[in-house]
Amino acid sequence: MATNGLEHQILSRIGSLQTFTSSVYSPTDARVAARRMLLASDLVCRIDVDGDQQGTGILVAPTLVATAAHLVGTLVDASPTGGSSPLPGSSKRVSVTFGDMADLLEDSDQPTLLKGTPAPLAASWLAFYSPPAVNELSNTFEIDSTDGIGAEGPWDIAILRLAHPRPFRTVKPPRRLPRQPFQVHVLHHPSDGAGKGLPLLWSIGRVDRRLGDPPLRLLHSANTSGGSSGAPVFDSQFRVIGIHQAGGVLPPAVQDAANNRAVPVTPWVSQLAGLELPDAAPVVATVEIAGPQGSPINRTVIGRHVTISRIWRGMKVEAPARDRLLAVLGDPGLGLRFTKHLVHALVTQFGGTYAAIDVANCQGDDVDSFSAKVAGAFAAGLPPRQPSGLTTRQRDTRNQTAPDLAKRLQRIARHTGAWLVLEGFESPSANASPIVIDLVRQLILELPSAPGVRLVLAGWRESLPSGFESSVEYLEEPTADDVSRSLLPPGSPDDLVGQQRPLVQTLLAASKTELPNAGPYEIAEDARAKLARMLAAAMAMHAAEGIGT
């Protein structure tokens, strides 16, 4: 395991004192290791279902708890397409308790049992759910089998969302796990055999085997019992490297052999950024676009608050289908094609996958070639289509192509969202082909069964299916206040914006006269540039006067 400079200095010196008999259980700095363990113990929780202890969990973000999916499997309606949702009323059946542990209080040499602190779950408490593999549901599955498990899982991992944030200290997991056996620690709440969990316990063992390369499961030797499922498995620096899943049915043939199984965190930990989302949309001040020579440049966002809020609403894991579709309409010059940059800015910051396609370049496409373009934009292949015997294009699109495409996008999404932006529908010289329109319509209808898919249609001119009426946004011209706020710090008071309004209105009128062929958004950008120069000149003059005095 890697160590920092101080630890390396200490540990490198003790090699000359005596020979160590184990490369797995190496000495470590006592106080540092103890402090890391104490900090880690504050993040571990007991998980009960219907009043009975089920397992253990670990806080992985201020409002997110990771545990084993099989602990809450009876409370989840899992869709074959990869979607999952909690059953009605299930948030009241799950309880999460932190701090259920014994401790030595000051001036006492006898342990004192501390009263744990319940942490209520949010109404939409299931942030992420990847069930166990089919063979892992059996009481007799082979402990070293990875049948039915691939690079995309399943992981037997559930992420529970808390109603309120808790104190959290970020410790990044190691980027790679050692190939040789290494020491691990498990903090867990085993069951007492009567439906209740024991106070927090600490077990030490080692990871002996990696199942798969990269590993899909880990085999470790730390002592666990019923109720330990979902417990964090730490390395020697108390970085979470796995979630304990199960123990072997049969006792190990050799004493201390690795007979327990864990799920590594590396395949799914990247999902967390997209799950930990505040309610309010963040401020998007600038977006990065390709400049004339292909080099990236920053472009200021003026207005577009409604668009940003709608995109943000669609990023929520529990977002309904109507919020995962955004059809942006507006006259030329209002920034329809700017929409993809807003989507890209939010998705790249908070998690998800993104692709944009100009449908004006797809006039010659048939159903298959357009679907392939969509899949190719995400660098993913579509499954081969099977002949159906149907000859009508609409029926073929409805019955096979659109469902196949939705399923592929859902797999790409991996619960954080696959964002497909289609633009160019408004182009008067290159209308989208009827085939593309048909496929997009059918893809919209597939959204309820593909909860990871988000669809943005910039310039869409067709009617939307029933139930998606609220998915439309009509762009408006940037206002003088929009221009002012783009130069002010977020949250600036309205009276400050109002003071600048007459001046900005004058600048907008001047830019409109100077740029008769420009659209409203370009005019707003020109007026903003004028205002920025004026403010910079005023600040320079004020600074010069200050120096002179």
pLDDT score, position 360:
84
β-strands 217-220, 260-264 pairing: antiparallel
Q: Select the more confidently predicted residue: 311 or 370.
A: 311
- The alpha carbon dihedral of 14, 18, 22, 27 has a sign of negative
C-beta pairs of 175-182 under 8 Å, 24+ apart in sequence:
175/266, 176/266, 177/207, 177/210, 177/215, 177/218, 177/241, 177/264, 177/266, 178/1, 179/210, 180/23, 181/23, 181/24, 181/206, 181/207, 181/208, 182/1, 182/24, 182/206, 182/207, 182/235, 182/236
pLDDT score, position 381:
40
What mean pLDDT do residues 371-376 have?
A: 85
- Return the closest-CA partner of residue 161 out of 113, 106, 121: 121
Which residue, chain included where needed, has tokens 């579509």?
A: 382
Cis peptide before 190 (omega within 30 of 0): no
Q: Tell me which CATH code domain 277-474 carries.
A: 3.40.50
Give pLDDT tens digits for 51-106. 888 999 999 988 899 999 999 999 998 765 556 778 888 888 999 999 999 998 88
Residues 6+ apart with CB under 8 A from 69: 76, 129, 130, 131, 132, 154, 155, 156, 157, 158
Task: Examine the pLDDT at 5 and tell me if it is beyond 70.
Answer: no
Please answer whether residues 78 and 131 qualify as being in contact, where contact means their C-beta atoms are separated by less than 8 angstroms: yes
Which class for 8: exposed (0-12), middle (13-18), buried (19 or more C-beta within 10 A)? exposed
pLDDT score, position 300:
93
What mean pLDDT do residues 490-509 have?
A: 92
Task: Examine the pLDDT at 230 and tell me if it is beyond 80.
Answer: yes
pLDDT score, position 3:
54
- Return the closest-CA partner of residue 259 out of 268, 250, 271, 269: 250
Determine which of 372-381, 436-445, 529-538 has the lowest per-residue pLDDT on average.
Answer: 372-381
What mean pLDDT do residues 253-270 have?
A: 79
What mean pLDDT do residues 440-447 have?
A: 92
Burial 238-276 (b: 16+ CB within 10 A, else e): bbbbbbbbbbbeeeeeeeeebbbbbbbbbbbeebbebbb
Coil, strand or helix at 439? helix
Give pLDDT tens digits for 318-359. 789 999 999 999 998 999 999 999 999 888 777 678 899 998
- Return the closest-CA partner of residue 146 out of 247, 218, 40: 218
Task: Examine the pLDDT at 390 and tell me if it is beyond 50.
Answer: no
What mean pLDDT do residues 41-49 have?
A: 95
Beta bridge partners of 94: 49
Are 5-274 and 277-474 equal in CATH topology? no
Pick left, alpha or beta for residue 104 (phi over 0 → left; psi -120 to 50 → alpha; otherwise beta): beta
Please give the share of the chain, as a percent, with pLDDT higher than 90: 46
Segment holding 456, helix H or strand E? strand 453-458
pLDDT score, position 386:
45
d(CA 366, CA 424): 17
Q: Tell me which CATH code domain 5-274 carries.
A: 2.40.10.120
What mean pLDDT do residues 34-49 have?
A: 94
Task: Examine the pLDDT at 160 and tell me if it is beyond 90.
Answer: yes
Return mean pLDDT, the chain. Answer: 84
Question: What letter would DSSP give residue 314?
Answer: H
pLDDT score, position 80:
56
Task: Examine the pLDDT at 43 and tell me if it is beyond 90.
Answer: yes
What mean pLDDT do residues 432-450 have?
A: 88
Segment holding 542, helix H or strand E? helix 520-548
pTM: 0.58
pLDDT score, position 62:
86
Cis peptide before 154 (omega within 30 of 0): yes
d(CA 477, CA 522): 10
pLDDT score, position 398:
55
Please give the share of the chain, as a percent, with pLDDT higher than 70: 86
Task: Examine the pLDDT at 306 and tell me if it is beyond 60.
Answer: yes
Of the pLDDT bands very low, low, confident and very high (cuts 50, 70, 90), residue 384 is very low
DSSP per-residue string spanning 353-415: EEEEEEGGG-TT--HHHHHHHHHHHTT-PPPPPPP-S---HHHHIIIIIHHHHHHHHHHHHTT
Of the pLDDT bands very low, low, confident and very high (cuts 50, 70, 90), residue 251 is low
Pick left, alpha or beta for residue 187 (phi over 0 → left; psi -120 to 50 → alpha; otherwise beta): beta
Residues 6+ apart with CB under 8 A from 365: 373, 433, 435, 436
Residues 6+ apart with CB under 8 A from 191: 53, 197, 198, 225, 226, 227
Task: Examine the pLDDT at 424 and tell me if it is beyond 80.
Answer: yes
Q: Where are the domains of the chain?
A: 5-274, 277-474, 485-548
Task: Examine the pLDDT at 193 and tell me if it is beyond 90.
Answer: no
Q: Select the more confidently predicted residue: 534 or 549.
A: 534
pLDDT score, position 1:
46
Token output for 515: 């740029």
Task: Examine the pLDDT at 389 and tell me if it is beyond 70.
Answer: no
Of the pLDDT bands very low, low, confident and very high (cuts 50, 70, 90), residue 17 is very low
pLDDT score, position 539:
84
CA dihedral angle for residue 157, residue 163, residue 166, residue 170, rounded to 10 degrees: 40
pLDDT score, position 30:
87
